[in-house]
Homo-oligomer: A and B are copies of this chain.
Amino acid sequence: MPIEIPEVVIDRLPVYARALAIFERAGREVVSSQELGAQLGVTPAQIRKDLSYFGRFGKQGRGYNIRRLLEELRQILGLDRHWTMVLVGSGQLGRAILAYGGFAPQGFRIVAAFDSDPAIVGEQIGDLRVKDVADLHRELDGRSVDIGIVATPANHAQEVIDALVDCGVKAILNYAPIAAQVPEHVHVKQIDPVLSLQSMTFYLKDRLAEVK
């Protein structure tokens, strides 16, 4: 990539792709940045600016060709590929992740699940038999795994992340409430409902103050 694209822009592209797919399924062929923006709570200017990083998609005053833009976004984001994931932490949260129906249709497949609890190791959950996290290196050796999902308690998360990175995993989806430390070439996204709640209470608190 010749230009450094800000991470906040990359983060918005899957949201655009999802909205475009909905328009496409509704039989639409063209959509304006106004309409797309209204659907997503983003300004039309923001959408045009974000997409301008990747070339010229829309024609002035004619909106975006949905199928073409969607194809481009899928290629840009690698959405047209399949990705393999391993899960570490197969407790209650891990089980909800394994049962989550949203990954597979989008090309994300969990190929192995691990835990450290002898009461859980060996258990069959869906298609997978839970493996011992002590065998992580051996199990992943020679396998191409794209993404590691971490669903362990906070106090074990960093060591698990280190082990995954050691095994060559380049992307981590972290459900544990810690700020994960990784080398520069590894990407991390944190799923943390408490952080999301805490950034909303800023606004709730404000509103209460106004009412007083």
Residues of chain A having any CB pair with chain B under 8 Å: 1, 7-8, 10-11, 13-15, 17-19, 39-41, 76-79, 81, 83, 92-93, 95-97, 99-100, 102-103, 106, 108, 146-147, 170-171, 173, 177, 179, 185, 187, 189, 191, 193-207
Contacts and interface: CB of A to CB of B under 8 A. Distances in A.
Contact of A78 (B146, B179, B205): B205
Contacts of A173: 193, 196-197, 200
Nearest to A205: B78
A15 B166 CA distance: 26
A40 B93 CA distance: 24
Given A1-B206, A18-B179, A171-B200, A194 B106 contact: yes
Nearest to A39: B179
Given A100-B193, A171-B200, 14 more contacts: A10-B199, A10-B203, A14-B199, A77-B201, A92-B96, A93-B96, A95-B96, A97-B193, A102-B193, A103-B194, A147-B197, A173-B193, A185-B207, A191-B196
A77 B205 contact: yes
A201 B99 contact: no
A169 to B, nearest CB: 10
Copies in the complex: 2
B202 A77 contact: yes
Nearest to A106: B194
A14 B198 contact: yes
Contacts of A194: 14, 102-103, 106, 108
A144 to B, nearest CB: 10
B15 A193 contact: no
Contact of A171 (B99, B106, B203): B203
A146 B193 contact: no
Contacts of A100: 93, 193
